[in-house]
Structure 1
Amino acid sequence: MSKDPKPAEKRIDQFISGPGGRADDWRDLVEAAKVWARGGDRAKFDAALTDLSVIEEFHGYPGLQLMAALREAASAGDAAGSLGLATRITQALMTRSFRQHAGDWNAEDDGNGDAPELVPSTFGSHQGHRPYFETLIVTGVSSNHWPALAAEWRKLRRPVDSFVYEPVIVGSLEDAFCATMLNPNIAAVVINEGFFLRSRHDAPILRTMTATAGINDESDASALRLAHIIKRVRPELDLYLMSNRDVEKMAGNPEANVVRRIFYSIEELLELHLSILEGIQDRFDTPFFDNLKKYAQRPIGTFHALPIARGKSVFKSDWIRDMGEFYGLNLFLAESSATTGGLDSLLEPTGTIKKAQDKAARALGADRVFFVTNGTSTSNKMAVQALLGPGDIAIVDRNCHKSHHYGMVLAGAQPIYVEAFPMTEYSMYGAVPLKTVKQALLNAKADGRLDRVKMLDLTNCTFDGHIYNTRRVMEECLAIKPDLIFLWDEAWFGFARFSPFLRRRTAMGAANEIEAWMHDPKSVAAYEKQQAELGKPPSDGVLLKTRLIPDPRQIRLRVYQTNSTHKSMSAIRQGSMLSVKDVDFHTVEQQFKEAVFTHASTSPNQQLIASLDVSRRQMELEGYGLVANAIEIAFAIRQAVNNNPLIAKYFRILGADAMVPAQYRQSGFTDYLAAGMNWASVLKSLDDDEFCLDPTRMTLVCGTAGYDGTQFKGVLANDYNIQINKTSRNSVLFQSNINNTRSDVAHLVRVLAEIAGEVDRGLVQGGANAKTTFEARVKSLMTDVPDLPNFSYFHQSFRGDAGTKTNEGDIRSGFYSAYDAAGCEYIRLGDPEIDRRLKAGPDLVSASFVIPYPPGFPIMVPGQVITQETIDFMRKLDVKEIHGYDAKEGLKLVRAEALAKIGRPKPGAAPKLKAAS
């Protein structure tokens, strides 16, 4: 036990120090041991070892015995022995060889035996390999008996077991919480009754955590209470309870539904061991992928329309055999256009695809999940088409992905476009303020059109990393319209489900919290109390300023979430999942199927479906650690860039204080790496702030180095083999993901330092002229930026009987007006005719979507009246890619004569018949 509380406080309080931080600590210990072994001061080694001893209590390897051996060597003054053992442990942790190499667990092993291969000689061979995980054992047994207890657990291992695990033993609720948070290798938890409340270490953050959970004394340290705490932090974990009391009564308690199985005492330890392995197997199983592997090994005669299946046309060819050699035989053996013979149909899944989707629903916290093989563009269009019909109104972020706009066209729905807060300096938008959304709902209510408002459609998180307070948005909107449908485009945010910090900001995470709140008896009292305080009827001004509480008895919780699984998990490109938590799904299920039939290919890629299945497996079993590492990678990049004197002269990564205006950061949060920041501060921001910043999104300002975003993206790709996606006028966006390593960080930092050095040398060697030119370039990129144009309004021809306060429009009619060539005209951007018509009319009405990249949002939609600010923005644009606009032709507009005819019956059209009374 550590006498000094400081190390425990340092390690437990700082969530920012993840897997990479632990590796750094071990490397620091080795360096300190080297100094000591050379005759230097051993004090630094002792301090580092004391520090490490705290965090290592929560990990299976190196474990109790190796850590005890390391402390004994230090106590004996054995510098060489300490160095040797610390080095062996560090190497085993870095290579993860301890998972397969038994010698790594032996303090006496000299390390000269057969070492594990860092790169397997045959990637396809898994013979003898058993996945490794760790099981947390929470017990009231004295720590003196923990080594013996761990030995008892190891005796349960059998050669026939598919997996191997190591026990991690703790004796208190607080230490169990710490182990769950700090050890990503934990995959199962066994909770024995009789453990203590307080940690053996002093860490103030633990006091905050237990107080928030309502745990104040030892009587609160119950097994079920701990189970619920762990399940909230890491819902993917299997939990097992062991009790010496009335287990039958405990098993019948509804509160025990978070537990996989309850055991009486230790009478069936082998059964518990087998249950743990079965729970892991359940997550490990990939129904579709497993079946596809079996299918590939069967002798199949193919008489269907897919010549590439089985690969004969490839491997027997002298001309395309290289493709087969590049991709490998299994790719072709696993191809088929059949949905029989053990395979399944994506359009009507009843077998392995259905089972795979059910597992994905469990992993994502949804009622059901649909696999989509055409990307989230298709998922969005499917959801919009299934849930909206002609004349329905949807409140839509004007800056959302184009698939939502096209979905409105397909459905015939009428969007009310709402604007995100502008970030003019960086030529990008943030997210839509809740007040703006509430105002749109209240306007529709005032116009008597609230019944037609069916959906709120928002992007979470945005491309640049702005995350909504999803629970607050949904609750306040449901307070105005209890049956509102929510479509959250979380294309870039799928990984967030597996972070205990970010999960609450996902659509499914928030929906589950709202559902739990609805069933809490206190929810009705909270609603009625607020109603009494508001009075009847409250004004719109009061409603806009108040954090509204919905009536839990009236809510119809209908939430849809789309994820580009390929963007943040290990799925093949275009792999997407659509998650549903809709209490009324049965009312739209048939039309949802029709939307699937409309958009899904009848020839989906089998490998893509399999990758969706496998990506779910990976995230359920190791997603927690992978996401923690991705966040840590992002922090490392932010620190390295902003703290490097040379790089910081010309580049900087924007913090939350620059990306999110202060009025939306009610907690006062500034940035993840601000002084004194810890996970408690971040949790307060995640709970209270209207918008947060995804830590894995890093907006790097390059305009201060004289580069525009597109130019800098090209330099990185062409000269340094660094690929990125998004740019703005003066910035580029870096993203960390589960694929990145610290080596990637080092490469990026070296490249930025090299580019900054070149800029620096150019200014020094170029003299006054170079400096003047550089300053002018920076001014043009950073200061002379165009104002961002808001959506104006739909032309009256596309407004029909729209209300006076709402701004919806018939975008479908606007879109198809472009099909009438004679009814359209083109005017070039520089033509004075544009300026004349802006002043004197007739209106300039767009016949198409116009989407410049960057910034990537539509500055014109079909049927929109074009205003001066939009023209000014387009004239200042210096980007090459503008979808929907041909510079040679000019703007495509709907002629005034055609506008006048819209809505009138066409000549010869049959008259409308009145419905029979």
Structure 2
Amino acid sequence: MIVNISENHNSHSMISGVLATPELRADRWISVLYLARKWEKTKEESIKEQILSVLKNLEEIELYFSYPGSVCFNRLNDYLKEDDSKGFLRLSQRISTTIISKKFHRDVSVWDVENYEDDPFNRLPQAISHVKAKPYFEVLSVVPHARSRWQHIKEETRGVRRPEDEFIYETVVIGNAADALKGILLNSDIGSVVLYEGFEKGSNGKDSFLEVFKEVIDFSSLDEGDFLSLRLAQAIKKIRPELDIFLLSDQSIEYFSGKPESRIFNRIFYQMEEPLEIHLSILEAIHVRYRTPFFDNLKRYAERPIATFHALPIARGKSVFTSNWISDMGEFYGPNLFLAESSATTGGLDSLLEPTGNIKDAQEMAAKAFGADRAFFVTNGTSTSNKMVLQALLVPGDIVILDRNCHKSHHYGCVLSGAQPYYVEAFPLVEYSMYGGVPLKTIKQSLLKLKSQGELDRVKMVDLTNCTFDGHVYDTRRVMEECLAIKPDLIFLWDEAWFGFAHWSPLLRQRTAMGAASAISEALTRPETLAAWEEQQKTLGENPSDDMLLETRLVPDPRRVNVRVYQTNSIHKSMSALRQGSIVLVKDVKFEHVESQFHEAIFTHASTSPNLQIIASLDVARRQMQLEGYGLVANAMRISLEIRKQINNHPVISKYFKVLSNSEMIPEVFRKSGLSEYNDKNISWSKAVEAIKNDEFIIDPSRMTLSCGHAGFDGTTFKNILADKFNIQLNKTSRNSVLLQSNINNNRSDIALLIGVLNDISIDIENKFQKNGNEYKNNFQSSVDELIYNLPDLPNFSRFDDRYRDDPESHTLHGDIRSAFYDAYDESGCEYILLNSSEIEKRLESGPTLVSANFVIPYPPGFPIMVPGQVITEEIITFMRKLDVKEIHGFNKDLGLKLLKKKIAE
């Protein structure tokens, strides 16, 4: 039983409420404080009735949280009954501010209900005083006992605490499986679960809160078999796989402990015969996740007295702190940065190139955290990660199906490996000068075309970006399954530079590469998967047409499929890692066959002097996400959804700015659910579920494309205004928009700053209208029209010149990009033509063909509109001439286009 999650003072939609579930409780407590202030001021009975209603809703939610607890909550109700508005205000302020600030994590005084009036609200929390607070978490205990016993259970767990404990926890007690699932969905502080054998299933009727999750996350185990504790543990792992689970049973635990399925539990105990041992086991399990092998060793290394005779003068910091000229650098960064620097790989520091100690341990922990089989740390960004994977898995002559609009590292990876890219096009969003994702039908068409020409055996990889810079997220599982149905041994590389955080969202995890790979691996073992393939074969027949294959939701043959999935993440883009901290995640059943060449790729690209601080930050980022990532990601979702709502509903801001909706970012054909906007209050559960589960593309909720063209700003100009005048920084722009990103670093104060700035800019525009008359309005509207309506068409990839194609007569698009790239090194074989020269029109009409000698990448939109060896078309020239951006990589306007002369092929 729980109140409809859309009922909060912000009136979010159902889907937005689901995405930000752990944060909704705080909103309700703020509502209590708001009403308490009104009641204290007016003493109106109607406000008291509103408070009663909110508290009734909160009472159902507070079941799943330790703080403030039943004693404190009952005290609030007593104040209401006694009409003590002043006491109610004091206590509600204490509770709400403590919850918002999470002060109960670090200050034991806030738990003292009896003496709360003696504790001023501005008291310094323990973490800021001289005594460092112990990290805090909560334990969910699912028990078969009567509710009257729950408080006693909490007291018992407090009774086994010891001063030497590394961590501190409070217990949340509930009585059935359904409430257990709600608890881990609502309470992000829960770090461990203890299951007492004998609890009930609960929620025999439909539970609206769980229904949406049940459709997206597989809870089917709860409806199967008799061993409810095991089935609940399996369901919990589907939601939050990082949680530790302990079982207290009165059954034959010796027999069950020998079964494979028992491994889902950290440990199994015989009922409550060892309360201290249970307590220590809970703390030890948290310690396992808390441990950061490399970072811990680096801290110990920094504490040792070491004399350095290696080539890193900055190590230990003596050259800095004793300097007459650069000591300010030491003052700025502090001593630990220099004490933790070394050029050596001994003394406990390990080697990133061939790790055997703590880096190896840290990578294994990262692999487990992300749901991968293996993980490799990279200290020079995901650009390098992508090139490593491509070089390791591809050889000259291989074909890779490649999103033409992906990051340039993928294109350069083809140059390095000698693989031939077969470029596939994403759907265009011309009105915003950007591309979305590559439709599945387009990918399947490329595979079927290569198959018809006898070249399918050369296709080794499908390489796509998930999510794109602008937030387009694939249905990764469907893409891989349908491609594997055409070619069962395909390798997939998913560039998830921007999407690493998604693993800690139970709704978004399924759309990550590792999440989908795990789901496919599990499905391949089920008999129904083979049955589905056999049934499909009957429908398709022996020789299905390409049209039939394109229109069919293909099922792969589970007997032939090899799951070979690689995922690259810029940890620094969405987690607490230093810049250029990246990771390669691997789930490849054939990895042992490519492991040696993968290590060769690491040797090729990784620095022999990797930054130790970046490695440490990757280690720490993993720790943080495993212990609090679920709540942090939920907060980032909440920030984004609130920004969307505030901007798009504001009476003044919305005239000039808008966060583009799902329907504006994704064509209807790819949104079968019909979901148009995350904050649509009228959306039904079924639509919400269908979108997340089945739509071909969704928008990453944390990414917001803010249209600024109606305010008369192009993206680059507006980005600079925000940075220079208002200290608001952002990254990506388009011709008429900027990209806002919410992440685990943002808070509600950031929302207030952004909304305030946009309001000031909007009011300034309106004031200029009033002061400057019609001429200003006309000029302003002309600028808007230029940005909104007079937009260049986005050019598609044309083709490689015949000299770089294996078979010039074929109709496939792949080509030898490597040869073209190195042909451009011969200056005598190249020529330059100015972009606005009439010579270009003559060449386009009568030849010789214009062939690009290099990559040409305008920012924005940030994709290569020309690659080495590509034939330049009229559409490309038109686009280039209309571009008004200042940054175009590979193009010098004073020299013009660099072209490969025809004589190279002769």
Q: Do both proteins adopt the same fold according to a TM-score greater than 0.5, normalized to the shorter chain?
A: yes
Q: 2:548 is matched with which residue: 526, 538, 542? A: 542
Specify whether residues 848 and 620 from structure 1 end up closer, same or farther in structure 2 by C-alpha distance, changes over 3 A only. same
**Secondary structure in 1 aligned to 2:116?**
coil
Q: 1:336 is matched with which residue: 336, 342, 352? A: 342
Q: Deviations over 1:193-223 (max 9, x none)?
A: 2222224998424356568744798986811
Superposed displacement of residue 680, structure 1: 6.1
Following the alignment from structure 1 to structure 2, what is the Cα–Cα distance between the partners of residues 866 and 292? Answer: 53
Residues 265-274 or 737-746, more deviating: 265-274
Does structure 2 retain, via aligned residues, the 8 Å contact 1:501–1:683? Answer: no
**Secondary structure in 1 aligned to 2:861?**
coil
Superposed displacement of residue 618, structure 1: 0.3
Residue 195 of structure 1 corresponds to 199
Residue 516 of structure 1 corresponds to 522
Following the alignment from structure 1 to structure 2, what is the Cα–Cα distance between the partners of residues 465 and 677? Answer: 21
Q: 1:499 is matched with which residue: 505, 509, 518? A: 505
Does structure 2 retain, via aligned residues, the 8 Å contact 1:205–1:680? Answer: no
For the pair 1:756 / 2:759, whether they are aligned, the reply is no
Residues 30-39 or 666-675, more deviating: 30-39
Q: TM-score, normalised by structure 1?
A: 0.95
Superposed displacement of residue 18, structure 1: 4.0
Following the alignment from structure 1 to structure 2, what is the Cα–Cα distance between the partners of residues 677 and 255? Answer: 39
Superposed displacement of residue 733, structure 1: 0.4
**Secondary structure in 1 aligned to 2:832?**
strand
Specify whether residues 629 and 854 from structure 1 end up closer, same or farther in structure 2 by C-alpha distance, changes over 3 A only. same
Does structure 2 retain, via aligned residues, the 8 Å contact 1:15–1:679? Answer: no
For the pair 1:28 / 2:31, whether they are aligned, the reply is yes
**Secondary structure in 1 aligned to 2:800?**
coil
Matches within 5 A, 1:20-99: 20-38=23-41, 39-41=43-45, 42-99=48-105
Following the alignment from structure 1 to structure 2, what is the Cα–Cα distance between the partners of residues 577 and 678? Answer: 38
Matches within 5 A, 1:194-593: 194-199=198-203, 203-206=207-210, 213-214=219-220, 222-593=228-599
Structure 1 vs Structure 2 CA RMSD: 2.0
Residues 171-180 or 419-428, more deviating: 171-180
Superposed displacement of residue 19, structure 1: 4.8
Q: TM-score, normalised by structure 2?
A: 0.96
Q: 2:880 is matched with which residue: 870, 874, 877? A: 874
Following the alignment from structure 2 to structure 1, what is the Cα–Cα distance between the partners of residues 835 and 49? Answer: 73
Q: Deviations over 1:30-49 (max 9, x none)?
A: 23223333422211221121
Following the alignment from structure 1 to structure 2, what is the Cα–Cα distance between the partners of residues 76 and 202? Answer: 38
Following the alignment from structure 2 to structure 1, what is the Cα–Cα distance between the partners of residues 19 and 502? Answer: 16
For the pair 1:178 / 2:182, whether they are aligned, the reply is yes
Name the amino acid aligned to 1:358. Answer: E
For the pair 1:894 / 2:903, whether they are aligned, the reply is no
Does structure 2 retain, via aligned residues, the 8 Å contact 1:476–1:549? Answer: yes
Following the alignment from structure 1 to structure 2, what is the Cα–Cα distance between the partners of residues 328 and 679? Answer: 52
Does structure 1 retain, via aligned residues, the 8 Å contact 2:248–2:268? Answer: yes
Specify whether residues 116 and 238 from structure 1 end up closer, same or farther in structure 2 by C-alpha distance, changes over 3 A only. farther
For the pair 1:166 / 2:173, whether they are aligned, the reply is no
Residues 805-814 or 682-691, more deviating: 682-691
Following the alignment from structure 1 to structure 2, what is the Cα–Cα distance between the partners of residues 21 and 119? Answer: 26
Residues 7-16 or 421-430, more deviating: 7-16
**Secondary structure in 2 aligned to 1:560?**
strand
Specify whether residues 111 and 289 from structure 1 end up closer, same or farther in structure 2 by C-alpha distance, changes over 3 A only. farther
For the pair 1:792 / 2:798, whether they are aligned, the reply is yes
Does structure 1 retain, via aligned residues, the 8 Å contact 2:3–2:60? Answer: no
Does structure 1 retain, via aligned residues, the 8 Å contact 2:801–2:869? Answer: yes
Q: What percent identity do the matched residue pairs reach?
A: 56
Following the alignment from structure 2 to structure 1, what is the Cα–Cα distance between the partners of residues 825 and 364? Answer: 43
Following the alignment from structure 1 to structure 2, what is the Cα–Cα distance between the partners of residues 121 and 102? Answer: 13
**Secondary structure in 2 aligned to 1:760?**
helix
**Secondary structure in 1 aligned to 2:449?**
helix
Superposed displacement of residue 191, structure 1: 1.3
Specify whether residues 17 and 466 from structure 1 end up closer, same or farther in structure 2 by C-alpha distance, changes over 3 A only. closer
Does structure 2 retain, via aligned residues, the 8 Å contact 1:447–1:803? Answer: no
Residue 698 of structure 1 corresponds to 704
Matches within 5 A, 1:124-163: 127-163=131-167
Specify whether residues 779 and 425 from structure 1 end up closer, same or farther in structure 2 by C-alpha distance, changes over 3 A only. same
Q: Deviations over 1:6-40 (max 9, x none)?
A: 56784799425545432232122123223333422
Following the alignment from structure 2 to structure 1, what is the Cα–Cα distance between the partners of residues 299 and 204? Answer: 49
Q: Deviations over 1:355-391 (max 9, x none)?
A: 0000000111000100000000000000000000111
Does structure 2 retain, via aligned residues, the 8 Å contact 1:709–1:728? Answer: yes
Superposed displacement of residue 116, structure 1: 4.9
**Secondary structure in 2 aligned to 1:588?**
helix
For the pair 1:844 / 2:867, whether they are aligned, the reply is no
Superposed displacement of residue 809, structure 1: 0.3
Residue 114 of structure 2 corresponds to 108
Does structure 1 retain, via aligned residues, the 8 Å contact 2:371–2:514? Answer: yes
Following the alignment from structure 1 to structure 2, what is the Cα–Cα distance between the partners of residues 352 and 602? Answer: 17
Following the alignment from structure 1 to structure 2, what is the Cα–Cα distance between the partners of residues 143 and 575? Answer: 48
Residue 828 of structure 1 corresponds to 834
Residue 627 of structure 1 corresponds to 633
Residue 11 of structure 2 corresponds to none
Following the alignment from structure 1 to structure 2, what is the Cα–Cα distance between the partners of residues 218 and 809? Answer: 52
Name the amino acid aligned to 1:74. Answer: L
**Secondary structure in 1 aligned to 2:194?**
strand
Residues 178-187 or 678-687, more deviating: 678-687
Following the alignment from structure 1 to structure 2, what is the Cα–Cα distance between the partners of residues 284 and 809? Answer: 49
Following the alignment from structure 2 to structure 1, what is the Cα–Cα distance between the partners of residues 465 and 809? Answer: 26
Superposed displacement of residue 678, structure 1: 6.8
Does structure 2 retain, via aligned residues, the 8 Å contact 1:154–1:166? Answer: yes
Tell me the matched-pair count. 894
Specify whether residues 390 and 215 from structure 1 end up closer, same or farther in structure 2 by C-alpha distance, changes over 3 A only. closer
Residues 858-867 or 222-231, more deviating: 222-231
Does structure 1 retain, via aligned residues, the 8 Å contact 2:5–2:209? Answer: no
Does structure 2 retain, via aligned residues, the 8 Å contact 1:8–1:54? Answer: no
Name the amino acid aligned to 1:259. Answer: F
For the pair 1:642 / 2:642, whether they are aligned, the reply is no
Does structure 2 retain, via aligned residues, the 8 Å contact 1:61–1:98? Answer: yes
Matches within 5 A, 1:764-775: 764-775=770-781
Does structure 2 retain, via aligned residues, the 8 Å contact 1:7–1:50? Answer: no
Superposed displacement of residue 96, structure 1: 2.1
Following the alignment from structure 2 to structure 1, what is the Cα–Cα distance between the partners of residues 224 and 831? Answer: 78
Residue 124 of structure 2 corresponds to 117
Following the alignment from structure 2 to structure 1, what is the Cα–Cα distance between the partners of residues 603 and 210? Answer: 52
Superposed displacement of residue 243, structure 1: 1.4
Does structure 1 retain, via aligned residues, the 8 Å contact 2:496–2:569? Answer: yes
Following the alignment from structure 1 to structure 2, what is the Cα–Cα distance between the partners of residues 210 and 380? Answer: 35
Does structure 1 retain, via aligned residues, the 8 Å contact 2:212–2:689? Answer: no
Superposed displacement of residue 877, structure 1: 0.5
Q: Deviations over 1:467-526 (max 9, x none)?
A: 000000000000011110000000000000110011000000000000110111221111
Following the alignment from structure 1 to structure 2, what is the Cα–Cα distance between the partners of residues 60 and 329? Answer: 40
Following the alignment from structure 1 to structure 2, what is the Cα–Cα distance between the partners of residues 321 and 425? Answer: 52
